Structure 1
């Protein structure tokens, strides 16, 4: 195995048009043994998901493609029977957004970095 290949059980795809904002959290997850891949758009994320297996997807909600692009990504994934867990990490954290995320089959929605890490860890303890 080359040093650039990671098992799917330790790979996270982070979809955000401003990935630098998330570097401290990503570094924390990498210290815990995860490998983070980045996609700046929904289109690139869907290409990467079609070619690789991931433990989870972390996505922001709004991107230049649209303010609800996170839901578009998740719905596209589920539409092609991709059951990779999705957690939204968005600046807004309203109860209505959490409820809608659950209706779209997301595994979580938060704007808190500690809660995001807990959600990722919880996924690791649940059989898929």
Structure 2
């Protein structure tokens, strides 16, 4: 009887050793695992209860055919697959977007609010200003990864372009994205502009492109 008990005890030794080994590995690597996974999961959830709210925000932004606030009631056609592709890229870029800083200049901030909320949910800081006069003190005093601007402000159809010249004169190297409802690609893009678009989906891609470039240059 005693011999049988000892045989059973000896038989359990390998299992106990495996459990002990797994425990040691887990507690040793737990910090690394948490550091790698938690920011990503947090960022994805912060996009709005998983990704559903992010999709709603992007759809709402796309439905506003004129980011400058002059909606003519005809939202640009956007395929569901195109929107999903942007959301998928946004999710996979969670680590890149975390901590990014955007300064947004638009005299109709309510029209860009869904996108601002979307980027904030992805872990970025988004500050909204109404004019070049409000934006420049901020740009001179602190770094931003991206400047997003409209073109027509307060009755001046070239306000956004004029701001580019101020950036050059003050030697502010921030990359510029133009998001406006009256952009005409055929007229060309100013040399100071990284990209210009009327599409919220395209803007999401451009923001990710710039953040990828910013992270690479900082290595």
Q: Could you state the TM-score of these two structures normalised by the residue count of structure 2?
A: 0.51
How far 1:93 moved relative to its partner?
3.2
Q: What is the SS of the residue equivalent to 1:100? A: coil
2:148 paired residue among 29, 47, 58: 58
Aligned to 2:206: 119
Aligned to 1:100: 189
- 1:35-114 to structure 2, matched below 5 A, reads 35-64=125-154, 66-97=156-187, 99-101=188-190, 103=191, 105-114=192-201
Instruction: Provide runs of 4+ in structure 1 moved above 4 Å.
Output: none
The gaps in structure 2 that reach 5 residues or longer are: 1-98
Q: What is the SS of the residue equivalent to 2:153? A: coil
Q: What is the SS of the residue equivalent to 2:189? A: helix
**2:112 aligned with 1:22:** yes
Q: Could you state the TM-score of these two structures normalised by the residue count of structure 1?
A: 0.85
Q: Which has the higher strand share?
A: 1
Distance in 2 separating the partners of 1:65 and 1:73: 15
Aligned to 1:3: none
Q: What is the SS of the residue equivalent to 1:72? A: helix
The gaps in structure 1 that reach 5 residues or longer are: 1-8
Distance in 2 separating the partners of 1:91 and 1:23: 15
Q: Which has the higher helix share?
A: 2
Aligned length: 117
Root-mean-square deviation (CA, aligned residues, Å) is 1.4
Larger Rg computed on CA atoms: 2
